[in-house]
Homo-oligomer: A and B are copies of this chain.
Amino acid sequence: MSATSQIWIDGVSAESLPLPDRGLEFGDGLFETLLSMHGQVPLLESHFERLKQGLHRLGFPDCAERARQCLQAALPALSNSAFTAIRLTVTRGSGPRGYVPPDPCEPRIIISSTDVARNAAVPLPQLSVVPAPLALANQPALAGIKHLNRLEQVLAARHARAEGADDALMLNERGEPVCMASSNLFAVVAGTILTPPLATAGIAGTRRRALIERWAPDLGLAVEERFFSLGTLNVASEVFCSNSLVGLRPVGQFGSRTWSSHPVMAALFERYRAELPA
């Protein structure tokens, strides 16, 4: 643990997780990755709405309010850091051996922070992207929510790193793009922003949601949530991605296709930046 990391479990400063824990045993839990700017978290409500959906989908008791209190209690400790990545993890806690969850169960809330050594309000350089070595499985029961079963993303990210790329493009079983390993995906085609649906695979990102609901409409930009082919990326005038720590980030290269200019993303980034805490 670096000197700039801190961990709290159920509101108490901690360095280790009591065992057993179903988060470790089965990935039985959820998480949120939040950006803190001097202890203020952009799109906090959107994060908690997704968390609540995940708790409901997995059959957890609704502990979102307790998670929020744990987060609020941790934020003052981060107020001296300009930019901090916060991970809020909720597991189904301890239980007897086996897959059957305890009933009632007592979810465990784990918060960890890591300083971000860059200005998160400034766009990052263009990403280079390679195809992931595996397709995302079709699993409507788990799609959209940010659960702890992330081996698909781990294998894709590992491959990208081995290839010297920044991220991996993940396709579904039909060969359609869904997302990057660590972000949501957007392609600008004939002036319209396309982004794949997330009802069967992928994570419904908070920045993706804000782009669809507010940022693009505010700028008069059309957004369509639909699948498109891999070939569509070649004809896209720009490709970019989103997540909570980078906001929006341009894709500069995928295979032999390169993009050098991202005017739509640049306009959206300004809109994004306008919502960040001062």
- Name A's B-contacting residues (CB within 8 A): 1, 5, 7, 14-28, 31, 58-59, 85, 87, 89, 91, 94, 96-101, 103, 110, 112, 114, 133-134, 137-142, 147-158, 160-161, 173, 181-182
Contact = CB atoms under 8 A, between A and B. Distances in A.
Nearest to A29: B24
A19 B6 CA distance: 10
Given A59-B158, A89-B24, A181 B99 contact: yes
Query: How many copies of the polypeptide does the oligomer hold?
Result: 2
A161 B103 contact: yes
A14 B24 contact: no
A28 B154 contact: yes
Contacts of A23: 24
A112 B149 CA distance: 21
Nearest to A28: B154
A24 B26 contact: no
A58 B151 contact: yes
Given A98-B157, A100-B158, A24 B20 contact: no
A157 B99 contact: yes
A94 to B, nearest CB: 8
Contacts of A147: 151
B161 A100 contact: yes
Which 3 pairs, one residue from A and one from B, show the smallest C-beta to C-beta distance?
A27-B27, A137-B137, A149-B149
Contacts of A27: 26-27, 148-151
Given A99-B150, A133-B141, 15 more contacts: A16-B19, A17-B21, A25-B31, A26-B149, A26-B150, A27-B27, A59-B155, A100-B157, A101-B154, A103-B161, A134-B139, A137-B138, A139-B152, A147-B151, A149-B151
A136 to B, nearest CB: 9
A179 to B, nearest CB: 12
Contacts of A100: 157-158, 160-161
A108 to B, nearest CB: 10
Contact of A137 (B110, B139, B161): B139
Nearest to A114: B97
B24 A148 contact: yes
Nearest to A99: B157
Contacts of A22: 154
A147 B149 CA distance: 10
A146 to B, nearest CB: 11
B141 A152 contact: yes
28 contacts: A1-B94, A16-B17, A16-B19, A17-B17, A17-B24, A20-B112, A23-B24, A24-B91, A26-B27, A26-B149, A26-B150, A27-B149, A27-B150, A58-B155, A85-B97, A96-B114, A99-B156, A99-B158, A99-B182, A100-B161, A101-B154, A134-B139, A134-B140, A137-B137, A138-B173, A142-B152, A147-B151, A149-B150
